[in-house]
Every structure is written in C-alpha cells, then in structure tokens.
Structure 1
Amino acid sequence: MSWYLLRRLFLLCFVLLALSVFAFSLGYLFPGDPLQNFSGVRLTDSSQLQQLSDSYRMEQGYLAQYLAYISRILQGDWGLSFSSQQPLLAEIRQLLPATLELVTYALLISFVFGIPLGIIAAIKPDGMLARTISGLALTGYSLPIFWWALLLIMLFSIGLGWLPSAGRLSVLYEIPYHSGFMLVDILLADVQYQQEALQDALRHLLLPTLVLATYPTTVMIRFVRDSMLQVWEQNYIKTAKAKGLNRVQVLYRHGLRNALLPVIRQIGLQFSTLITLAMLTEIIFSWPGLGRWLIDSIYQRNYPAIQSGLLVISSLVITVTMLTEILHNIFNPLARRQ
C-alpha cells in the first residue's frame, strides 16, 4: 500500500509539474508582450521595464524563466490583473470560496438524494417506482443547464417572486469577511441581523445550488442503481438470500457496503464536472465566484488572470481526483490487491 501511495504522489507531482509548464507557456502563446502577460504591468518607463525584465529573467533562456516563474508562484507573486491592476492571488483568494461553497453544497445534495434514490431504483428495477426514478434521472441528465436555470428563474423569481435571481446576499446586510464562505461568515459575524442575513443567504443559495446539483444527482442515481444491480447478482448475495435473510437484511449487511465503494471515486469525477458547470451557473445567477471571474477575464483578454485561473482550477481538480482515487483504494481491499 505504501508503494502505491508513493506512486500516486509521484504521479500527482508529475501532473502538477506538467500543468505548470503549460501555464508558463501560455505567457508566450497569448498575444502581446510576454513580459506583460506574466507580470500584468501595463505602463512602465524604461528603468522599470528593465528592472521587471531582470526580475522575470526575460533575457535568459526558457529554463531560467520557468524556474523564476515557479519561484514566484511559490512565493505568492502571481502578477497583476490587467483590468484592476490588483494582485491576482488576492483576487483568487477572495473569489475561490464562493465557487467552492456552491460546488460543495451541490455535491452534498447529489449524494444525499442520489444515493437513496439509486438504491430504491435498484431494489425492484421493474417496478413502477424504479421506472419513475430512472425516467426522472434520464430527464435531468438531458436538461441543458442554462435552459434549466432560466426556467427556474422565470418560475420562482419572476413568476412567483419567492427567490432572488442573482447575487449571494442582499445589499441590506453587511457581513465582515472571515473565510469567504457566506454562511460561515454570517455565523461568525457579531451583528444584530444575523438570523435575517442567514435566511437571505440561504434564499440566494437555493436556486444556483439546485441548478448545479441537477446533473450530478442524476448521474449518481444511475451509477448507484447500476452498481447495486451488479452487486445484487453476486454469489455471496444469493448465498445470503439462501440462508433466509430478507431483502432488507441482505441489502444492509452485504449489498450497500460493496455497492457504495465505487461512489468514492465519483466524488472526484463529479467535482471536476461541477467546477465546469459552475462557470455557467455563476454567469447566469451573477454569483461572484472564480468561474464568473475567469469568463469575464476571457472577454476582457486579461491574460495574466486567465493563466492564473486555469492553474488554480486545474490544480484543484487534479488534486481532488487523485485524493479520491487514493481513498477508494484504501477502503477497497480488491483495489489494494490489484
């Protein structure tokens, strides 16, 4: 097992290294001056330009420039944004919690609803309830996320007026910044309107979370159903039935623990999918997250921001996927043996 962990960690380091090489190469692939693409500094005089060029080692070879780039990344010097001329790392730290908050709650909803519905659909796969669940899962899987989001906005925001259609919190409430996670910051805030602000934040969070959770929930339903049906045909399940155990006992003692082991891998897979879908969701609901910031940077041709945003999102997805793969092999004896 220790050899497996070492191999996985080596693979993680190698992939992150390759990602850093790609991010570095974007400074030359983007239009314009590579020095400006790396630093984000627009207007400088000749002396500042020479000092900046020496700092970024632009007059040396690509290897020296790459090593300087890695050194700046590790030190927290990610350059400036073209649009705001603010440090990129500070902007990413401020925006990333909003995206992680949305993705985390959507992933939690997909597990809370997807796993039980998948189990119910697998108990009697030919029953009316199982067919209804499978049909709803197929429908949710086929829905375009932008159309589904606009439909919910028209119904609950414009038509009924129950839920807000944009933002994380109303302008009536001012919450001090602590962690960047809105619900956590509200609970930590010492203000008189804490309960009202918490209810308002939950109302703002409901629609985008529901839209973002639709696709992974349907995937989880189908995945758990297929996994349960596969386990249900194994010999040890038939042996347990032959011993006189009823369906609930067989399901609880033997079926669930084996059928739900592959679900651990789905955490990484669904996380990467949710990061991608969160970009569209943040645009539609004006959610101030990293995805919306990255899309705006693409429109504004903010090349340093694009470079940093892709580096952060890709590193996050790769790390979570690798960690879930390691957890799956830790909890699965057959995977460890292989």
Structure 2
Amino acid sequence: MINLLLRYINLMVITIAVLVVISFALPYFFPGDTLTNLSGIVPESDAQRAALEAAYKLDGSIFAQFWHYLNTLVNGNWGVSFTSQTSLLKEVSIAFPATIELITYALLISVIFGIPLGFLGGLWHHKPFDFGVVTFSVVSYSFPVFWLALIFITIFSLQLGFLPLSGRVNLLYDVPHQTGFILLDILRADMPNKADAFYDAIQHIILPTLSIAFVTTAIFVRFTRRSIMDVMEKGYIDAAKSRGFTTKQIFFKHGLRNALLPILPLMAMQISTLITNAMVVETIFSWPGIGNWLIQAIYQRDYPAIRIGMLVVSMFVVSLTITIEFLSRAIDPARDKFERGAV
C-alpha cells in the first residue's frame, strides 16, 4: 500500500510540475510583447520598461523568472486581472466553487439514477425494461451538451416559463459569499426572505445541472449494465446458484460488490468530461463559474487570467483523477495485479 501511495504521489507531483512549466511558458507564446502580456501595461519609456522588467524578473535568466513565478504561486500573489483590476486569487476563489457546485450536483444525479438503472438493465437484460434503459442511454449520450442546454432553455424557460434561463440567483437577493456554494451560503446567511432565496437558487440550478447530468448518467447506465452482466456470468455466480441461493441473495452477496468495483475508476475518467461540459453549460446559462470566467478572459485577452485559470482547472482535474484512481486501486488490489499481468 505504501509503495502504491508513493507511486501516485510521484505521478501527481511530476504531472503538476509539467503543468506549472507549461503555465509559466504561456505568456511567451501569447501574441504581443511578453512584458505587456504579464503586466497589462505598454511601457512608454525605457525607464518604465526597465522597472517593469525588474518587477517581473524579465531582466534575469529564464531560471530566475521561473523561480519568481513559483514564489508568486505559493504566496498567492497571482497577479491582477486586466479587465476588472481585481486580484486573480480572489476571482478564482469566487468562480471555481460555483463550478464545483454544478459538477457535484450533476455527478450526484448521475450516480443516483445511472447506477440503479444500469443494475436493473443488467439483471433484466434483453427484456423490455432493458431495451428502454439502453434506448435512454444511447439517446442521452448522443445529445451534445450545448444543444441539450438550448433545448431546455427553449422548453422550460421560454415556452413554459417554469425555470429561469440564466444566472445563479435572482439579483433581488443579496447573498454574501462564504463557501462559494450558493445553497450553503444562503442557509448560513443572515438575510431576509431566506426561504424564497433558497427556492430561487434551486430553480436556477436545475437546468444547468440536468444539462450536464444527462450525458454522464448515460455513461454510468451503460457501464454499470455491462459490469453487472459480466459479473452475473462468472463462475462463482453459477456456484452460488448450484447451492440453492435465490437471485436476490446472489445479487446482494456476490454480484453487487463486484459490479461496483469498476464504478470508482469510471468516476475518475468522468472528471474531465464533467469539467468540460460544465464550462460549456456555464457560458450558455451565464453561470458565474470558472468556465464562464475563462471564456470571458479569452474574449478580452486577459492573459494573466487565462494563465492562472488554465493552471487551476488542470491541477484540479489531475489531482482529483489521480486521487480517485489511487482509491480504486487501494479498494481493489486485484485490479492492479490483473493490469500488470496483462501488460
């Protein structure tokens, strides 16, 4: 177990180091002057250029510049946005929790509905219910997330008027930022009309969450269905049947656990998909998350924001993926042995 942990820590450190190096190099590849890309200031004199170069260590070697960049990352001095003139650390700390909230709710919906549907489809495969499950998963997986989001807006917002089409909460409610999760912030806030604000926030969350969850649910359904079908065909299942166990006893005693073991690695693989879909959905619904924030930074050529935003998102995806992958191998050591043998 210790060797496995060290392997994954080593993998995470190396991957994050590569991401930091790429992030450091971005301003040199952006169009225009590197100094202007970093500072947002066009030097009007040689003295001003020399002062800016000294501040950003551009007058030193590339290693001195990289060391300066590492210090700014560790100290939280990530710079200032060109457009808002606000600290990037503050902007990311506000935008990123909104994205995490969105993908968390989408993942919960996918797990709650996708895994049970997959289990039932696998147990009753080649029956009418299974055909319905397969049809649902294929159709859901075939929908582009942006198209699905626009369909939801057209039906539930514009035509029926049931749900709001943009934003995170109505502007009438002044919710103080605490955790970054809007529902938790409303519950913790000392504000009038708290119940109304909470209900309004839930209404704003429904459409973006469902837009992301549809594709992920389809993936969980298909993967879980295939997993339970494979497990129920194993030799130990036939041995349990020969001993007189009922189908229910076999499923809960032998089938359920073994079918669930591949689900955790699947969650690791879906992290990047969830983040990507969330960034698209945030733009469509004007959800104030890191994806919408990054898109606006790209439109406005806010290079420091692009640099930090890409680094934060990449580190989050890599760290969470590697952590879940480590947990899945720790829970199921046989998977590691099988993969080593296959190689």
> Where do 4+ consecutive residues of structure 1 move more than 2 Å?
35-52, 335-338
Q: 2:270 is matched with which residue?
A: 270
Report what 1:285 is aligned to.
Answer: 285
What is the number of equivalent residue pairs in this alignment?
Answer: 338
The alpha-carbon deviation at position 95 of structure 1 amounts to 0.7
Percent of paired sites with the same residue: 43
1:292-331 pair list within 5 angstroms: 292-331=292-331
- The Cα of 1:44 is off from its aligned counterpart by 7.1
Instruction: Summarize deviations over 1:142-185 as a string: whole Å, max 9, x none.
Output: 01111111111111111111110000101121111111110000
Q: Which deviates the most, 56-65 or 177-186?
A: 56-65
- Structure 1 stretches of 5 or more lacking a match? none
Q: Distance in 1 between matches of 2:195 and 2:286?
A: 24
CA distance in 2, matches of 1:47, 1:329: 58
| Structure 2 stretches lacking a partner, 5+ long | none
Structure 1 partner of 2:246: 246
Give the match for residue 186 of structure 2: 186
| Whole-angstrom CA distance in 2 between matches of 1:253 and 1:314 | 40
- 1:278-335 residue CA offsets vs partner (Å, 9 max, x unmatched): 1110111110111011111111111111111110000000000000011001111303
Aligned to 2:225: 225
Q: 1:254 to 1:59 in 2, by over 3 A?
A: same
Cα distance in 2 between the residues matched to 1:4 and 1:270: 22
Q: Give the 3-state SS of the residue equivalent to 1:266 in structure 2.
A: helix
TM-score computed with the length of structure 1 as normaliser: 0.96
Aligned match of 1:68: 68
Matches within 5 A, 1:124-163: 124-163=124-163
Contact 1:40 1:85 in 2 (8 A): no
Q: Aligned partner of 2:237: which letter? A: I
Aligned match of 1:18: 18
Please report the RMSD computed on the Cα atoms of aligned residues, expressed in angstroms. Answer: 1.4
**Counterpart in the other structure of 2:8:** 8
* Secondary structure in structure 2 of the residue aligned to 1:152: helix
Task: Please name the residue that 2:106 is paired with.
Answer: 106
- The one-letter code of the counterpart of 1:82 is F
1:84 and 1:37 map into 2 onto residues whose CA distance is 15
Q: Cα offset for 1:48?
A: 5.0
State the one-letter code of the partner of 2:183: L
With 10-19 and 241-250 compared, the bigger mean Cα shift is at 241-250
What is the Cα deviation at residue 55 of structure 1?
2.8
- CA distance in 2: counterparts of 1:307 and 1:208, whole angstroms: 26
Q: Normalising by the residue count of structure 2, what TM-score does the alignment of the two structures yield?
A: 0.95
> Matches of 2:44 and 2:273 in 1, distance apart?
41
User: Do structure 1's residue 209 and structure 2's residue 209 form an aligned pair?
Assistant: yes
Offset at 1:19? 0.6
